Amino acid sequence: MVKMSGIPFSELVVASDSADARAELLLLSPSILVPKLSHGQVEVWDTLAIGEYLNEIAPKAQLLPSNPVRRAHCRAICGEMHSGFSALRASLPMNIKSKVKSFKVWSKAQLDIDRIVAIWQDCLTKYKGPFLFGKHPTLADAMYAPVVTRFITYGIDLDPVCQKYCQQIMATSLMKEWREAAQAEPDDIEELEVEF
């Protein structure tokens, strides 16, 4: 999202898997979670709040659509991503480096997938793509980008419209950077590499 805003920034990557790292993280982020944005005196520690803040300080980037009807729709689907899809999050954890063969999707996760597909199809039909709200990527594309990587990691069957959207997202320079950074991470996530 910060890259999309065009504001120069630096990133501090923290480990979260040891007690020491968690103690250090507490000093950096009150929720002991990432991401957290620091901008001058301003501290924002929640993804959706970060997106809204970036939209306020970098309005020209149009992180939210300029049309109020589209903006409301965009906020609704960002909110749905932010607060929902717990079965998908739990059973298809994000793991860009991995490619899981013959993954069996749990029925509750399939309901989440079906809902995401319906959201994407609705947006891509209404606003004619290639991004969810038309020609320009918005916070919604950023919010659903991790889902795109999950669908690829777990080989989820998608209709041609959603497949094309996934390809479109993965072809953006920001996603190429993200994938390359993930590939360059030295360790595999062992607990995510178990056979299901």
Ligand X SMILES: N[C@@H](CCC(=O)N[C@@H](CS)C(=O)NCC(=O)O)C(=O)O
Note the residues at the interface with ligand X (CB under 6 A).
16, 33-35, 46-47
Spatial neighbors of 28 by CB under 8 A, at least 6 apart, are: 12, 14, 36
Q: Looking at beta carbons only, is 35 or 79 nearer to ligand X?
A: 35
Pick from 89, 93, 87: which is nearest to 194 by CA?
Answer: 93
- Shortest Å, Cβ 125 to ligand X: 28
- Shortest Å, Cβ 41 to ligand X: 20
Q: Looking at beta carbons only, is 78 or 169 nearer to ligand X?
A: 78
Q: Looking at beta carbons only, is 35 or 59 nearer to ligand X?
A: 35
Q: Looking at beta carbons only, is 47 or 130 nearer to ligand X?
A: 47
- Shortest Å, Cβ 135 to ligand X: 27
- Shortest Å, Cβ 35 to ligand X: 6
